[in-house]
Structure 1
Amino acid sequence: MRIVITGGFGFLGQQVADALLERRALCGAPIERLVLADRFVPAVSTLVDDPLVDVVHGDLSEHLEEIFVQPVDVVIHLASAVSAECEADFDLGMSANLDTTRALLEAARAQSAAGGPTPRVVFSSSVAVYGGDPALPLPPLVSESTLPMPQTSYGTQKRVCEQLIAEYTRRGFVDGRVARLMTVSVRAGKPNAAASGFLSGIIREPLAGLPAVCPVGPELRVALASPRRTVEGILRITEVERGPGGLEGGLPVNLPALTVTVADMLDTLRRVAGDAVADLVTVAPDPVVEAIVGSWPAFLDNTRASALGLRPDESFESVVRAYAEDHPDAITAERLQGGAGESRGRGRGDGGAGRQADAGRGR
């Protein structure tokens, strides 16, 4: 089996690659090659040392012929420009998110038409496809049957890509699957241009002894998922078979969400890391960020994901402690209260985590 991860050196791309290399198999078949495609490849990465890994370095749209020169069985499409930069630069978002995704689907379609395998294309969408309209506000609980009405360029681009994947799947060109990601927190590495990046930064930076700014009011409710749960969800949607007991219908799957307020997050930081760490966070609301993040739903029905065996994080405290376990070198405090954060983790570090355009970073 030959698998391609776009945004392969982004934070999630590295996490998914790690999981696949640990398994050495997917969908019951051995992995023969794992292709990591990204605009930014770190100078040092243990991923490239694995004999199964090939690297495609550069803009994805310019390297599709190289990627598909050999049969591709699975594409996990994580590459994306993120929310705030899409809002600031409309053309960038349309090119990086919409045009590149359509070009990828066309390359997959061409492989099928030439008699090759029909690729399984897994697309990382976002809860940002939802949004409240004054004439049709969001219901209290959002599910996959809720009408998506995105209120940002990023959410609109993700929604259009979802529809393209559904159409290419209906026509038999690809076997498309859509995983709608929640905001991923806590992400390791450097800050990025996602509007939701502060939902990692207000935890990650203080734990590293650095100040952080919270650009929203503490009362804001958000839907979160840890990196562990997000990777678990992406791989489950990749592997599950279609039909009863598996992936039924053409609807996307909303990955499970843990709903918390920003105040809950800051209280958790204070409880597990102490006052000195928590006091490094300054609340300074930014109306632009509040408008973007506040347009996303906070309460989601997890029924469809639950039927696939997926579950949300138990608590935000468990999320913080998992981050400390996976990235102990990023914690400057001697220990988290309660004894967590002392064990050595499994992560590879941030790699190219400061990069954006093809890094598959989430919202």
Structure 2
Amino acid sequence: MRVVVTGASGFLGRLLVGALSRAGTFGGAQISRLVLVDRVAWPDHSRGAGVPVQVVHGELLERLDEVFAEPVDALFHLAAAVSAECEADFDLGMHANVDVTRALLEAARAQARSGGPVLRMLFASSVAVYGSHPALPLPPVVSETTVPVPRSSYGTQKLMCEQLIADCTRRGFVDGRVARLMTVAVRPGRPNAAASAFLSGIVREPLAGLPAVCPVDPALKVALASPRRTVEGILRVAEAERGTGPGRLEGPLPVNLPALTVSVADILATLRQVAGDTVADRVTLAPDPAVEAIVGSWPAVVDHRRAAALGLRPDAGFLSVLQDYLTDHPDAVAEPSD
């Protein structure tokens, strides 16, 4: 079984690659090769890998022939331009999100039409497909049957890709699955260009001894998932067999991954509880209407019964999310000063 991961050098990509490598199997079949695709070079992909690894470095549209030089059995499509950069550069978002996804679907279609396997494709979508409009406000709780009305270019592009994948699945070109991801926090390392990046930054930077800015009203509620829960959800949706009953993927709808609903004030209070006043006081409030307009348009409470039927659950609380971060990234915490 040949398994491809796009965006493999990204934060979630690296975690997913690690999980696949440790398991050595996908859907009960032995993985013969992991193909890791990214325009950003990552030199340690094969270190400690439990399965053979092939690295494809470069722009995905320019390397599709290499990716599909041999049959692809499963594909995790994580590569994307994120929310704030899509809002700043429409052409970038359309190219990175829509054009690349369509090209992958065309390559998968060509593979199937030539007698190759119908590949199983997991697309990482986003809660950003939802949005509130005066003519169609969001209900208190959104589900997969809630009409998506995205209020950002990023959300619109993700929704476009969802529909393309659904139609290609209906026509038998691919076996497509869509997992709608919540905001993932706490992310280690440098902040990315997502509008929601501050939700990690207001924890990560203070713990590292650095100042951080909160650009939204602390009363704002958001839907979060830890990195551990997110990767677990991606794998579960991708591996689930289709059909009815517990543990099976029923129908064509996307799957909303489980969400922890928490206010920004609760995040800051948990940081203060765990790390103390000196750390928490490194966060300052500096409202940014553009950021709040994007993040505030996303739902905070998500019905995840479809995910629960697959055995998935949300994080227990932000305390557990923070504890996971401290356990997984001890080097990211500064030594206390005298």
- TM tier, shorter chain? over 0.9
Alignment of 1:65-84 (within 5 A): 65-84=65-84
Distance in 2, Cα, partners of 1:21 & 1:170:
31
Which residue of the other structure, out of 328, 331, 334, is the alignment partner of 2:330?
328
What amino acid is the match of 1:34? L
Distance in 2, Cα, partners of 1:195 & 1:223:
14
- Unmatched 5+ residue regions in structure 2? none
Distance in 1, Cα, partners of 2:64 & 2:120:
16
Distance in 2, Cα, partners of 1:290 & 1:78:
25
Distance in 1, Cα, partners of 2:242 & 2:261:
29
Residue 154 of structure 1: aligned partner:
154
Distance in 2, Cα, partners of 1:103 & 1:303:
32
Residue 141 of structure 2: aligned partner:
141
Which residue of the other structure, out of 309, 314, 330, is the alignment partner of 2:316?
314
What amino acid is the match of 2:92? L
Give the alignment's TM-score, normalised by structure 1.
0.91
Distance in 1, Cα, partners of 2:105 & 2:18:
25
What amino acid is the match of 1:45? D
Residue 11 of structure 1: aligned partner:
11
Offset of 1:282 from its aligned partner? 0.7
**Is 1:295 aligned with 2:294?**
no
Q: Conserved in 2, the CA contact under 8 Å of 1:93 and 1:157?
A: yes
Residue 339 of structure 1: aligned partner:
none
Residue 110 of structure 1: aligned partner:
110
Q: Conserved in 1, the CA contact under 8 Å of 2:6 and 2:36?
A: yes
What amino acid is the match of 1:243? G
Looking at both structures, which has the greater relative contact order when contacts are Cα pairs under 8 Å and sequence separation is at least 6?
1
Residue 31 of structure 1: aligned partner:
31
Residue 180 of structure 2: aligned partner:
180
Offset of 1:48 from its aligned partner? 4.9
Offset of 1:46 from its aligned partner? 5.0
Give the alignment's TM-score, normalised by structure 2.
0.97
Offset of 1:333 from its aligned partner? 3.9
Distance in 2, Cα, partners of 1:247 & 1:157:
24
For residues 197-253 of structure 1, what are the alpha-carbon distances to aligned partners after superposition, in whole Å with 9 as ceiling and x for unaligned? 001010011111111111101000000000000000000001000001210110000
Residue 274 of structure 2: aligned partner:
272
What amino acid is the match of 1:216? V
Alignment of 1:119-268 (within 5 A): 119-245=119-245, 246-268=248-270
What amino acid is the match of 1:288? A
- Unmatched 5+ residue regions in structure 1? 335-363
Q: Conserved in 2, the CA contact under 8 Å of 1:48 and 1:55?
A: no
Distance in 2, Cα, partners of 1:168 & 1:66:
22
What amino acid is the match of 1:273? A
Offset of 1:262 from its aligned partner? 0.2
Q: Conserved in 2, the CA contact under 8 Å of 1:48 and 1:54?
A: no
Q: Secondary structure at the match of 2:313?
A: coil
For residues 69-116 of structure 1, what are the alpha-carbon distances to aligned partners after superposition, in whole Å with 9 as ceiling and x for unaligned? 001000000000000000000000000000000000000110000000
Q: Secondary structure at the match of 1:297?
A: coil
Alignment of 1:34-53 (within 5 A): 34-42=34-42, 44-45=43-44, 47-48=46-47, 50=49, 52-53=52-53
Q: Secondary structure at the match of 1:216?
A: coil
Q: Conserved in 2, the CA contact under 8 Å of 1:207 and 1:333?
A: no
For residues 143-192 of structure 1, what are the alpha-carbon distances to aligned partners after superposition, in whole Å with 9 as ceiling and x for unaligned? 00000000000000000000000000000000000000000000111011
Q: Conserved in 1, the CA contact under 8 Å of 2:45 and 2:53?
A: no
Distance in 2, Cα, partners of 1:241 & 1:56:
29
What amino acid is the match of 2:24? R
Offset of 1:49 from its aligned partner? 5.7
Q: Conserved in 2, the CA contact under 8 Å of 1:34 and 1:52?
A: yes
What amino acid is the match of 2:329? H
Offset of 1:47 from its aligned partner? 3.6
**Identity, % of aligned pairs?**
68
Offset of 1:66 from its aligned partner? 0.6
Q: Conserved in 2, the CA contact under 8 Å of 1:241 and 1:247?
A: yes
Q: Secondary structure at the match of 2:327?
A: helix
